[in-house]
A and B are shown apart, each in its own frame.
Chain A
Amino acid sequence: MTIPATDNTSETAPSKSEAGITLEILRYIPGTHSEPTFQRFEIPYVEDWSMLDALGYIKDELDSSLSYRWSCRMAVCGSCGMMFDGVPKLACETFLRDYYPRPIRVEPLENFGIERDLVIDQEPFLEKLESVKPYIIDAMANAPSGKPGAPAGHERETIQAGENRQTPKELALFDQYSMCINCLLCYSACPQFGLNPAFLGPAAISLAHRYNQDNRDQGNADRAPALNEEDGVWSCTFVGYCSEVCPKSVDPASAIQQEKVRGATDWALSWLLPKGAR
């Protein structure tokens, strides 16, 4: 048997063997299927192949109608999240060798609407992300660059003033939360999001927290309404699985808990302090 190399596998096909492995992939094509069903594919087993290589083989050689998202194949673009044997993972960072010789069950990310095959609807996430204002607000009073409609001349001045100071320690307060690749694995891991699709969710809250923690930002109050709503941080019951599946060690669960602490403190202060002193 010859194994045609896919674009993203090696030019010298790695350790060829007669061995094979089975993938059971959830298929759903609107208009063709009334509901999703599993389809079995027998493919050659190549030790170096990631799941993405395996899917590429299927698409090129066995069934060109299989649809899934992918691009970077180096775990940074966040396109290829899927469920493997019920666990959300990145296809490009999951390897056949970790399952061989058992068959592998491949499904689209849980808790999302399915557009087709392994492609899920990401639109709701983008709306949530937008709602937490994930950008620098009022950077350092003297550098309000980038505000809509800010006069061009003004921007020039602030650029001329040079970069803001930010010590490595100040950077460390938020850098972990800035590592989110928006792969949405954490949403698949979250039973609360499964029960309540309106929940803001782990990644959007982590990014809000990232900006709240940034010493250049003054936007905490602007983000508070979205965060402290019923569907905000308080929908989280701290299951903690989101942090376990996150491929970038963002630890969204910790971001949510810290935003709960911030929300509760602000609320308490709003009662204790007279208006204006806050």
Chain B
Amino acid sequence: MRQSPYHRPRDPFWYMRRSVYRRYMVREATSVFIGLWMLNLILGILQLSRGEAAWTAWLTWQQHPLMLTFSGLTLIMAMVHTTTWFAIAPKAMPKFIAGKAVVHQQVVIGHWLVFGLVSLFLLVAVYWGA
């Protein structure tokens, strides 16, 4: 008769055990900030639809030191998230595209280039629009 194999209890703090896991958890944690900031933005849009007074109130709230710190933090988190994602992006690419071997470094550089261009475009658009 077979005894069922022994399963060791799982360490609830498993993610603290290895640097790989810790880095992974940081990457995942960054999305919490980004998520919260998105909520804030949605709130802003809602306020905009409610009329000018609501909108201005929201804008003023954004300039509160607490909110400024939060936005700054979110920006840093977003950058961490972006960097880690771009670093592993090549893994999601096929080994060859149109018969040419995909060079991992080029994929990462490509991602940053696109990121830079889009950011620049947005900045310029916002600047001109304002």
B17 at the interface (CB under 8 A from A): yes
With A28-B6, A113-B7, A114-B8 known as contacts, the answer to whether A244 contacts B94 (CB < 8 A) is no
Q: How far is the CA of A239 from the CA of B14 in the complex (A)?
A: 13
Interface residue? A260 (CB, 8 A)? yes
Residue from B7, B8, B15, B96 whose CB has the most chain A CB atoms within 10 Å: B8
- Asked if B15 and A191 make an inter-chain contact with CB atoms under 8 angstroms apart, the answer reads yes
Q: In whole angstroms, how far apart are the Cα atoms of A244 and B23 in the complex?
A: 14
Q: Tell me whether B105 is interfacial, beta carbon within 8 Å.
A: no
Number of interface residues of B (CB under 8 A): 24
A237 beta carbon closer than 8 Å to chain B: yes
User: What is the size, in residues, of chain A's interface with B at 8 Å between Cβ atoms?
Assistant: 34
Chain B residue with minimal CB distance to A243? Answer: B91
A114 touches B92 (CB 8 A): no
How far, in Å, is A59 (CB) from chain B's closest CB? Answer: 21
What mask results when residues 89 to 102 of chain B are scored 1 for a CB within 8 Å of chain A, else 0?
A: 01111111001000
Residues of A within 8 A of B28 (CB): 237
Q: Is there contact, CB below 8 Å, between A31 and B96?
A: no
Asked whether B8 lies within 8 Å of A36 as measured between CB atoms, the reply is yes
Chain A residues positioned under 8 Å from B121 (CB to CB): none
> A30-B3, A191-B14 given as contacts; is B92 within 8 A of A241 (CB)?
no
CB of A135 closer than 8 Å to a CB of B: no
User: What number of residue pairs across chains A and B have CB atoms under 8 A from each other?
Assistant: 68
Q: Mark A249-265, 1 if CB is under 8 A from B, else 0.
A: 00101100110110000
**Interface majority SS (helix, strand, loop, mixed), chain A:** mixed
A44 within 8 A of B: no
Any B CB within 8 A of the CB of A115: yes
B64 at the interface (CB under 8 A from A): no
List of A residues within 8 angstroms of B17 by Cβ: 86
Kindly identify which residue among B5, B14, B94 contacts A194, using a CB–CB cutoff of 8 Å.
B14
User: Are B5 and A115 touching (Cβ within 8 A)?
Assistant: yes
Docked Cα-Cα span, A173 to B99, in Å, equals: 10
B91 touches A194 (CB 8 A): no
B4 to chain A: which residues have CB within 8 Å?
Answer: 113
Q: Is A98 an interface residue (CB 8 A)?
A: no
- Check if A240 is an interface residue, CB within 8 A of chain B: yes
CB-CB contacts of A199-229 with B at 8 A, as 1s and 0s? 0000000000000000000000000000000
Inter-subunit contact A191/B21 (CB<8 Å): yes
Residue of A112, A194, A238, A260 most packed against chain B (CB within 10 A): A238
Interface residues of B (CB under 8 A from A): 3-8, 10, 14-15, 17-18, 20-21, 24, 28, 88, 90-96, 99
